[in-house]
Amino acid sequence: MKSLLRIAVIFIVIILIHSDGISQINLHWNERFNGSANYYDEGRSIVTDNSGNIYVTGFSYSLGSFEDFTTIKYNSAGVSQWTALFNGSGNSTDKALFIQTDNSGNVYVSGYSTGAGSSYDYATVKYNSAGIQQWSAVYNGQGNAIDYVTSLTTDDSGNVYVTGQSYGGFITQYDIVTIKYNSAGVQQWTSRFDGSGNSNDIGSSLSVDNSGNVIVVGQSFESNSGSYDYIIIKYNLYGEQVRISYYDGPGNGIDVATVVKTDNAGNIFVTGYSRGTSSQYDIATVKYNPEGVEQWVSRHNGAANGNDGGTGLVIDNNGNVFVTGYSGISGSNYDIAVLKYDSTGVRQWLRSYTGTSNQNDSSTSITIDNQENICVTGFCNNTGTSKDFVTIKYNTNGTQEWLGVYNGNTNGDDVAYSAAFDQNGDVFVTGKTTVPGSTTDILTLKYSTVSGINSINNIPVNGFRLYDNYPNPFNPETNIKFSIPERSFVNLKIFDINGREVAQPVNENLQPGLYEFKFKAVDLPSGVYFYNLKTEEFTETKSMMLIK
């Protein structure tokens, strides 16, 4: 296993020309995990707790057992506290896709696992705060066929809920199967739904409201429409089906709900993709009241009249709804899209982001903090670097607070799958990064924001310049300074002697001015390091020596 890199970077910026109140983003640390087989590893879901710890789950290849569930706990400094693996009874493919924590520090992960004598099964595992497995629960549906978890959630009593798709045989094909476990891992109920069309019914997401009702959404072949529609199923506390709602888009084609959330009043919010009349697929967001009655529908068709889809949804305390996904802006490619709707479904704003290569870009996750800022993450295609992590923070008015783009060491594909805020407003992202040999590692990033920037006037800035750091040599802190004469997108990275990136203190648009930050390398070894400044019109690299 590769040693994990721990970096603490303190980013202190002094702007010497007008630029009050700008937020600066700092890549505080990045951690990689490589499984024992040195093969394909991915982080798929991330959460934080009230103590500032970070939990990541996904899968890694282990010697002799193919992919295993892989769950890692980091402290706020990026130091691994424990790593837990789960290998199913079939000793084959086991992939964790979702993670949740409870107020006692327990950790729950779920995904699919190969059984002994069966295909993929639902698999859910509970760990205590020390990473010790407490129980595992496996669901093998009818006929030992494919059963695939697509969503996990928990409630305040420690109950655990999963949904997904389960093969029911030639006649019913895939059905939506939802399961509730208590805190001890004992199955409380299982509900299986086969739609009226006896075709593939697939659960995509679930949410539990304040009364303990379980809302499941996905797609179901509806005999009346003759196609797949959004399906919204409500179960009560005991797993009894209370009601079903459908949404059939105006194109009477395929409509797939991907995400569901509930608010404190029990209202239900759903997004996904839906066939339009003159367009292809649109982002379709629907609100239902607790009785399942449709309150409003808001559809978004991108400017290119191409395919658009919702991949994430969050709600703020005022009933505003934020949706993210992908949208065709021009040509045949799509960009990251973020939309805000008010409580009545009226769109307040739309934001989009495209990578430099003008290829497909998409968000995969959205999260909201206690100040009602939102953060989306996913991937963008950039010229020369393939897919890169992209993470964007917006305030509630749609103003971009910062942008973080991360390109790994090989210029290969780097894809973020999940993001989470902590209580301090820092953002954590996990996904996969391509490493030498064209394999991938689990990559987890921490972005921290530093504000309160001072402004000093009447000091001229004459051109682009990267200054020598001081002191040099240093132990463990040094100051790096640069100037830009015009508004520019600035990228500043620090590399070790082997060319491996160890920090990215700056990656955003900056106003003209003189900037200085303090780089603290407490956990880095002695050696030569390089810092590179790059803008649209300028690039320069300098070296510095860390001596401990």
User: What is the reported pTM?
Assistant: 0.81
Scanning 416-474, the segments in alpha helix (DSSP H) are: none
Query: DSSP letter string over 440-494?
Result: EEEEEEEEEEE---EE--S----S-EEPPPBSSSBSSEEEEEEEESS-EEEEEEE
- Distance, CA of 539 to CA of 353 (rounded, Å): 24
Give the chain's domains with CATH numbers: 465-546 (2.60.40.1930)
pLDDT of residue 503: 81
User: What confidence score (pLDDT) does residue 204 get?
Assistant: 98
Low-confidence residues in the chain, pLDDT < 50: 1-22, 451-458
Residue 327 β-bridge partners:
335
Helix/strand number for the chain, H first, E second:
0, 41
134 in helix, strand or coil?
strand
SS3 142: helix
- Report pLDDT digits (tens) over 379-396: 999 999 999 999 999 999
pLDDT the model gives residue 326: 97
**Whole-number pLDDT of residue 24:** 55
Sequence letter at residue 514: L
pLDDT of 519 reads 85
d(CA 131, CA 126): 9
Looking at residue 293, its pLDDT comes to: 97
Residue linked to tokens 């895939």: 174
